[in-house]
A and B are shown apart, each in its own frame.
Chain A
Amino acid sequence: MRIGLFATCLGDTLFPEVVKSTAVLLARLGHDVVFPPDQTCCGQMHVNTGYQREPVPLVRNFAEQFGDSSIDAVVMPSGSCVGSVRHQHEIVAERYGDAALRAGVATVKAKTYELSELLVDVLGVTRVGAYFPHRVTYHPTCHSLRMLRVGDKPLKLLRAVEDIDLVELPEADSCCGFGGTFAVKNAETSTAMLQDKMRNISGTKADVCSAGDSSCLMHIGGGLSRIRSGTRTLHLAQILGSTRTAPYALMEAAR
């Protein structure tokens, strides 16, 4: 399958390892990974902060970059960016776009998937040949859970990882408190939410807390690093990308 990879602005700039793992994983599964070179950002932060005119060029660029019919599916290692493409691009296009943009948005939306959705639903694999001999707990992230309804797809993938010690996260479905600019505008409330999430993570004694969204992980990982909890964060793609021949070298997190 010819798969268009959207790195997301955050992944491309700040978390390139996550995107590398995604690209390598898909190539290793025998797929043709294409990276439209002029891609940038889905505009999620703009829309969620209340700006809908400003991201029009971003929405248009996204539709143009991935609209090509030679691309069978579009994947991104971020549940919230998929949420934006699926639910917000049409709002922006409807309100501030033209007919071409509306059509472009609808076309791309229909073939856009979050990583676990693509693997399990589209490619039909749960066993991706990964090896990760560490204790892992998984935070499902709100957008994946409630906007995309990915359900237990990420857990199915993790359960199939060789030698993994997967432990359940208590109160997994409660929000970590990130919410984009929420963490800045309501930093104290966000921190109160983060503290409860970290307490639950620490209780699992996991080496790694994983999730399908770098933004939530940046928030959780930043908090865990500050309290020197001993648990570090790692994107789902990086665990799935770790193999016996090229295992992920897990550095111990500061305690």
Chain B
Amino acid sequence: MSTFLGMPAAPPRSPFGTGNLRGDRTFPEAAHGELRNDQLRHNLGRATRTIRTKRLNVTGELPDWERLRDAGSAVKTDTMNRLPELLEQLEQKVTERGGTVHWARDGVEANEIVTRLIRATGSSDVIKVKSMATQEIGLNEHLEAAGITPYETDLAELIVQLADDKPSHILVPAIHRNRDEIRQIFLDEIPGVDPDLDNVPAHLAAAARAYLREKFMTARVAVSGANFGIAETGTLAVVESEGNGRMCLTLPDTLITVMGIEKVLPRYQDLEVFLQLLPRSSTGERMNPYTSMWTGVTPGDGPQDFHLILLDNGRTAALADTIGREALNCIRCSACLNVCPVYERAGGHAYGSTYPGPIGAVLTPQLAGMHAAKNDPNSSLPYASSLCGACFDACPVKIDIPSMLVELRHQHTEQSGTTVEKLAMKAAAGVMGKPKLFTAAQKAASLGRVVGGRDGTISRLPAPLSGWSDSRDTAAPPKQSFRSWLASAEGAETMRAAADEGARLTAETPEEDQ
């Protein structure tokens, strides 16, 4: 027994998540290579521009779009405020309807549960619907190591899987590939594919379809994610475009769904809001082609064995942060990626996580932490933004990503102890907090004129400013600051003349001309 000493200890923090939530390089290091990938920049630029326009068209046509966003935000905030009770309600409803619910603390546990469930069916193949949660926990790699072959059935996801590659976009995982590359991947990796396959998109899709049909017809187990889980009824929902999801969710005997705990929604009616917000924000369509919903097990119809795995993997840790928890409201529409100027240039791989783009920059550090080691790559993510705010405007649930980035930067500097940067910031604030020192520093800056070239510009600056001066000239400081001009005779005279002119004009000008 310990003695109470007056200061209660901080409650133990929920553990961070495991899996594909940390890159091996910092963002600037990873972006360095990606920025030189012309194919990537070209594809990304074109694709994000197209989808931005489509999205603006279909969101602009709804008179109540802003109110829908408010509703989405309110429902999600309410959900996070009472997440435990909603999850228990979901568990109860799914169980009542013949499903089995499992709770997974982290990726390791979730992977083990899925593997065990698949083994129990005696099958060594599973078909998969595109799912962020299973990518996050690295399920495919885990299954392969356990001798089970996962087959991705979403076209882009299939391309990524066949090429042994990593997705670079939440919604368009193979956005970094072109048709010729895809053709080659298919020729190399799809058994029995027509050797004369050309690069016409319809032909490529047909080749993938022929390959996948066979899997759909023979696989006995499917693994899916979920876009929404309804606490009130126990209903799960998956929205998709290709119909592969519908196949996976209906044909096999056993269905295993891995759902992040933040995907729960209180009421069935809440879908009314989200099924409008999601497709319009994500693909720029009024409706997505396929919406599949199922509730437990229906005898004689669809999978007869249904398992729901509720995945924490760092979400409780994020929920504990009063500011950061807003990131859990994300519905993974990818609108913020498509409007992000940083993502558009650096691409998804630079973020090193399953979750790229603006939402990745705030979600990843919260799920997996950003101080696992010195120079943790995740600690560079909150800085991978110019804070331009385009993500906040685009987000269908109004997540204030720029403010969260600033908050995470603050958490990072608080954690980092004494750094050169912190000392510089302290020194700068010390000078600027004292007007006299500030004025003296300005005088010193104007002495900096001597470093300017003959045209008054500086073209080379030392580190850490060399990255700046690699592509920008800097004007040498002026002779005189504004305040010393204002205090000078010339300043006083100029201001007096302007005031006189003002008085004259005010007297002359009729009101309506103003």
Contact surface of A with B, Cβ cutoff 8 Å: 7, 9, 11-17, 19-20, 23-25, 27-31, 33, 35, 37-41, 43, 45-52, 54-55, 57-58, 61, 87-88, 124-125, 127, 129, 142-143, 145-147, 173-175, 177-195, 218-219, 221-223, 225-226, 254
Contact = CB atoms under 8 A, between A and B. Distances in A.
Contacts of A191: 470-471
Nearest to B459: A226
A186 B425 contact: no
A218 B428 contact: no
Interface string B472-488: 11110110111101100
Given A183-B386, A187-B467, 20 more contacts: A12-B442, A17-B478, A20-B494, A27-B499, A27-B502, A37-B483, A48-B387, A49-B425, A51-B413, A57-B433, A58-B432, A58-B433, A147-B389, A174-B341, A182-B383, A183-B467, A188-B35, A190-B386, A218-B474, A221-B473
Nearest to B416: A50
Contact of B482 (A19, A178, A188, A226): A19
B409 A30 contact: no
Given A14-B477, A51-B413, A142-B386, A29 B502 contact: yes
13 contacts: A9-B432, A9-B438, A11-B482, A14-B478, A25-B498, A28-B499, A50-B406, A50-B410, A173-B390, A174-B390, A180-B387, A192-B345, A223-B471
Nearest to B400: A87
A238 to B, nearest CB: 13
A16 B480 contact: yes
B385 A222 contact: no
A35 B383 contact: no
A149 B76 CA distance: 26
Interface residues of B, number: 75
A17 B478 CA distance: 9
Nearest to B469: A222
A222 B472 contact: yes
Contact of A188 (B31, B425, B472, B495): B31
B457 interface: yes
Interface in B31-62: 31-32, 35, 41
Given A40-B433, A48-B406, A50-B413, A225 B457 contact: yes
B164 interface: no
A134 to B, nearest CB: 20
A39 B483 CA distance: 10
B388 A179 contact: yes
A43 B431 CA distance: 12
A225 to B, nearest CB: 4
B435 interface: yes
Contacts of B345: 189, 192-193
A146 B341 contact: no
Contact of A54 (B425, B435, B503): B425
A222 B32 contact: no
Give the interface centre of A35, A47, A50, A195 by most chain B CB atoms within 10 Å: A50
Given A50-B410, A50-B412, A58-B432, A186 B28 contact: yes
B514 A124 contact: yes
B479 to A, nearest CB: 9
Contacts of B403: 87
Contacts of B438: 9, 40-41
Contacts of B385: 179, 182
B386 A182 contact: yes
Given A28-B505, A43-B429, A179-B386, A12 B482 contact: yes
B321 interface: no
A146 B468 contact: no
A187 B393 CA distance: 25
B151 interface: no
